[in-house]
Amino acid sequence: MSETYNVCVFGAGPAGTATTMRLADLGLSVIVVDRPRKDKPWGGESLIGAIRHPLNRLGLWERFCAAGPVAGYARLTAWGGTPWTQYSVFDQLGNLWHVDRSRFDRDLRQAVCERGVTLLTYQSLDELRRDGDRWFLRLDRRLESSATYLVDATGRACAIARRLGVRPRLYDRLIGFTARIARNRNPAFDHAMVIESTPDGWWYAAPVPQGHVLTFLTDPDLAPRRLPLSMKKVAAYSGFTQVEPGQGWLTVGDACAAHDPLCGWGVYRAMSNGILAADAIAKFLLTGNQSLINQYLARCRDQFQQYLDGLRRHYSYEQRWITSPFWQRRTTTNSM
């Protein structure tokens, strides 16, 4: 027998869980279906101070603090001239937070389950079709459900968007090589992120609860041929998925707008925009008014164009490697 829901959310990362929790708090019935990766290479994540706002909105700030994130009070940067340091005391958003990403995601999923939301993992999506005003899906050849609205929160994979014939537009091919390493014993780096540009990319190191995370960002054709086996490759490109209104589904998080790690906005925007998406979906389902969905889609598009402009501007600050392909590719105009 098929279970019926108001909304089906694909993906249980920060975007999917934030959307789900907000929908549940608004009284809607939600199911989350997630196809987890076997290997999650990001050992840690650096979150901007504004992350406090969506966490507070969802009642998760105290849980976040209890997980033991490392406060980030400084950025030590060698990029475009004389090295410089930015201290969080001068940042209106507050200090950075360096977290164990696996713990962070696990706590978000636990908060979803505590709201009584069904969270299923699956291996195959055997059927996804729309009949009238409802979506019908079958997972692993046995689990059947239906929902009025769908949310694609499957990250850069954009699995549901692609399934429905919508492909993201990619703006670069950035990849990262990342590893969690032992904590730097120099106390100067206990609460500091280090960022440095190189001819073929840039790297950063940041403290996390279990050590330090070290990541090198470059393009596939410029990547070193030999790297330590402990370093895992991850996608880090910028991309945007254009969804037309009135289709009964939308995207959130990286499935909507994937960001270069340089900006540090990815998780914050995934959660804050997930809350906005939930509010828009709720209004549509309860009243039939799609104005908030239209506003959400327009907001995401405008945000991403502003992000592209800012990203190009920031990469253009580095003039030492201006003849390198990596930097040349990022100083041309990107427009949606």
**Among 234, 235, 255, 251, which residue's Cα sits nearest to residue 243?**
251
Q: What is the pLDDT of residue 77?
A: 96
What's the pLDDT tens digit per position in 221-242?
999 988 887 889 999 999 999 9
Domain 3-328 indexed as CATH 3.50.50.60:
yes
Tabulate helix, strand, coil % of the chain (nearest 5).
35, 30, 35
What's the pLDDT tens digit per position in 144-189?
999 999 999 999 999 999 999 999 999 999 999 999 999 999 999 9
**Among 8, 210, 246, which residue's Cα sits nearest to residue 127?**
8
Do 274 and 172 form a contact (C-beta atoms < 8 A)?
A: no
What's the pLDDT tens digit per position in 274-313?
999 999 999 999 999 999 999 999 999 999 999 999 999 9
Split at pLDDT 50, 70, 90, the class of 41 is low
Q: Going edge to edge, which strands form the sheet with 44-47?
A: 44-47, 96-100, 70-72
H/E run at residue 161: helix 159-163
Instruction: Enter the pTM of the model.
Output: 0.96
Mean pLDDT of the chain: 94
> What whole-number distance in Å separates Cα of residue 69 and Cα of residue 193?
14
Q: Is the pLDDT of residue 1 over 60?
A: no
H/E run at residue 36: none
> What whole-number distance in Å separates Cα of residue 215 and Cα of residue 148?
41
Kindly state the tokens that stand for 326: 């990596």
What's the pLDDT tens digit per position in 76-126?
999 998 999 999 988 888 999 999 999 999 999 999 999 999 999 999 999
Split at pLDDT 50, 70, 90, the class of 256 is very high
> What whole-number distance in Å separates Cα of residue 273 and Cα of residue 58?
13
Do 258 and 239 form a contact (C-beta atoms < 8 A)?
A: yes
Averaged over 252-263, what is the pLDDT?
A: 97
Q: Could you tell me what percent of the chain has a pLDDT over 70?
A: 97
Beta partners for residue 31, in sequence order:
8, 118
Q: What is the pLDDT of residue 13?
A: 96
Split at pLDDT 50, 70, 90, the class of 37 is confident
Averaged over 52-81, what is the pLDDT?
A: 96
246 phi-psi bin (left φ>0, alpha ψ -120 to 50, beta other):
left
> What whole-number distance in Å separates Cα of residue 159 and Cα of residue 308?
23
DSSP 156: G
Q: Which string of DSSP letters, residue by residue, matches 210-271?
A: TEEEEEEEE-GGGS-S---TT-EEEE---EE----TTSSEEE-GGGTEE--TTT--HHHHHH
Q: What angle do CA 80, 85, 87 make, to 5 degrees?
A: 140
Q: What is the pLDDT of residue 228?
A: 84
Split at pLDDT 50, 70, 90, the class of 39 is low
Q: What is the pLDDT of residue 42?
A: 64
Q: What angle do CA 312, 46, 59 make, to 5 degrees?
A: 115
Q: What is the pLDDT of residue 333?
A: 62
Residues with Cβ within 8 Å of residue 15, at least 6 apart in sequence? 153, 155, 252, 253, 254, 255, 256, 270, 271, 273, 274
At which residue do the structure tokens 């809350």 appear?
275
* Residue positions counted in the chain: 336
